[in-house]
Amino acid sequence: MRFHIIAQAQTGERFRRIEVDGERVDFPQYRTESFAAHANPFARTKGEPAYVVSHVGTGMRLAGGKTQAAAISTARQLIAEKSTEEFWRAIAAARQYIKATQTLA
């Protein structure tokens, strides 16, 4: 599936939308939401994971890892650890950011 992520190449740089191609990942806790694992376009940058899992609707990164399986495993662990309220607050913040960038564009 092709979708956009929100990314920042370097600290202090403006965030931008980047199109990526990912593989769907399902989380039973959030059946109404879409997630995908994909190669990280910034993987060459020191400290960046090779693969990440992102929320498709907002492009928000959930987790990363050296392999796609590791990124998915880390995302599953984080989803299990975080409260539903925390998840929805993060999604709301990402949606507000998208709305703000569209308004300012």
pLDDT at residue 33 above 90? yes
Q: pTM for the full model?
A: 0.84
Question: What pLDDT is attached to residue 20?
Answer: 94
Indicate the SS3 state at residue 56. coil
- Residue located via tokens 């949606």: 95
Question: What pLDDT is attached to residue 9?
Answer: 65
Check if the beta carbon of residue 24 is closer than 8 Å to that of residue 36.
Answer: yes
Q: Higher-confidence residue: 77 or 101?
A: 77
- Residue located via tokens 């995302």: 75
Question: What pLDDT is attached to residue 105?
Answer: 59
